[in-house]
Each structure stands twice: as C-alpha cells, then as structure tokens.
Amino acid sequence: MRDNPGILHDIRTIRDIESTLVEAEAYVEQLKNYKFSVTTHKDGQFTVSASDMAKMGDLVSTLQKSSQAMEAAINYLRDIMAYDETTRMFSRRYIFHLLEKELYRAKRYSSKFTIMALELDGLSAAVSTPDEDSLVAEAAREIRRFVRESDSPGRTGPRAFLIILPETEVKGAKILADRIRVAIDRDYQTSQGPVRQTLSGAIIDGADPALDDMAAMLYTIDQRLHEARRQGPNVVIA
C-alpha cells in the first residue's frame, strides 16, 4: 500500500468525510437542544433575556460551523467522484458528464468543440499491474502537458483517455493529438526492464449533426477508436 498513493489518498479522503459528517451531525444535535424564552408585552413588543441573547449568538455560530462542515464533506465527495487518482484527470463518470454539457452547449449556441479519444496500444502480458498503472500515469502526465486550461481531460478506461477541446477545429485537434502521440512514443522503465509504449487515437467533430445525443456520441467515439486501433499501433485518425 505504501507504493500506491491512490489508495492512501482515498483512505484519507474517506476518513475526512466521516470526520466532517460526524462534526456536522454534532452541530445538528446542538441545534435541537436550543431553547429560548421570549416575553411578549401588551404593546406588541417583546424582550429576550441576556442569557437567551447569548444562546442566539451561539446558535448563529453553530449554524455557520455546521454549514462549513457539510460543505467540506460535499467537497471531499466531489473530489472522489470527479477525479481519477492514477492519472490526475477527471474520472470516467465526470468526463462524460462534462461531454454531455458541452454537447448541449454546442447545440444551443451553435458553438464548436472537438473530442480527442486516445488509448495506449496493447501492452505485453508480462507487464505487471503496478507497472501498467505506472505507464498509464506517465502517459497521462504527457497528455496533461499539452492540454490547455480550457480543455477537459479524463480517463475513460484502463488505458483510455478522452479530451474535450472547446472552440477547436478538427485540424487543430489532430495536430495536438499527433504531438501527444510523438511525446508518448518512447521506452519506459518497468520492473521487467524497458517497455516501448505507444498510443493510438481518433478525433471526433462535436459539431457533427449526426451526434445529436450522448448515445450517438459514445457510439461514434467507440467506433472511431476501434478504427484507430485497427489501423495502428501508433496512429491518430481524424
């Protein structure tokens, strides 16, 4: 486990979630126990004792702390749901969520976007799981070097990635994908010795009228990536 920072990160995150939820629950219990005494006068005015005023101040403070604890727990949960620890990219679920939003935005505002679907070419059966995880992490690091702030990279499979490129033409996306492909094409050190790693991919035009919903989009991504693997290895098609 010492060699797997992803597992340790998840354990710490889950522990932090549990801690903040327990803290929030304690604040809620405090709120249930707050009682105030208000005296109403004939003229419609009311008075509150100094001790009850102090309780009200404590109530406001407790509400703030409870809100902060719940917000922290939600942020921890969002971190687990949205990110893939090995690649430090968006998770499969979250990148597809972003893709659906981008598809909706493109249809509504007639905007352009391009999808880059990438997959590491087949590894030797002799490569161990830790080595494969390391190779995937190295490939992801190379991909992150090339993407812009406005781009959204995610991991969609054991060795597969998807990058959403807003306001990008197919030609520009193809140039970027080839740069990534060239950067990844080299030998990597593993416990079994050096391993050659390459990548294949496909560029999909998000503005294609045929891609009018997520079902059509995901089907096209799968088919285009399959075609890239058929033509590969070490090739990007557009």
Q: Where in the chain are the domains?
A: 5-84, 89-237
- Who wins on pLDDT, 21 or 215? 215
Task: Using a cut of 0.85, tell me whether the model's pTM lies above it.
Answer: no
Lowest mean pLDDT across 54-58, 172-176, 194-198, 207-211: 54-58
Report cis status (omega within 30 of 0) of the bond before 233: yes
Calculate mean pLDDT across residues 117-129: 76
Higher pLDDT, 4 or 155: 155
* Rounded mean pLDDT, 11-36: 67
Beta strands in 142-215 (DSSP E): 152-155, 160-166, 186-190, 193-197, 199-205
Q: Which CATH superfamily is domain 89-237 in?
A: Reverse transcriptase/Diguanylate cyclase domain (3.30.70.270)
**pLDDT tens digits, one per residue of 159-206:** 999 999 999 999 999 999 999 999 999 999 888 888 899 999 999 999
Which of residues 57 and 210 earns the better pLDDT score?
210
Give the mean pLDDT of 214-232. Answer: 93
How many angstroms separate the CA atoms of 31 and 33, rounded? 5
DSSP 8-state symbol, 126 = T
CB 80 within 8 A of CB 15: no
Query: Which pLDDT score, from 0 to 100, does residue 4 have?
Result: 45
How confident is the model at residue 30, as a pLDDT? 67
Which ranges of the chain would DSSP assign to H, the alpha helix? Answer: 5-32, 50-82, 92-109, 129-146, 170-184, 214-231
153 has pLDDT over 70: yes
pLDDT score for 31: 61
Supply the pLDDT for residue 222: 94
Query: What is the rounded average pLDDT of the residues 127-146?
Result: 88
Residue 145, pLDDT > 70, answer: yes
Share of the chain above pLDDT 90, in %: 46
Provide the residue count of the chain: 238
Report the percentage of the chain scoring pLDDT > 70. 69
User: Given a cut of 80, is residue 230 above it in pLDDT?
Assistant: yes
DSSP 40: E
Residue 228 reports pLDDT greater than 50: yes
Distance between CA atoms of residues 60 and 53, nearest Å: 11
Give the span between the Cα atoms of 225 and 65, in whole angstroms.
49
Q: What is the pLDDT of residue 64?
A: 72
Mean pLDDT of the chain: 82
pLDDT tens for each residue of 82-120 = 888 899 999 988 899 899 999 999 988 989 999 999 999
| pLDDT at residue 151, as a whole number | 96
- Average pLDDT, stretch 38-52? 67
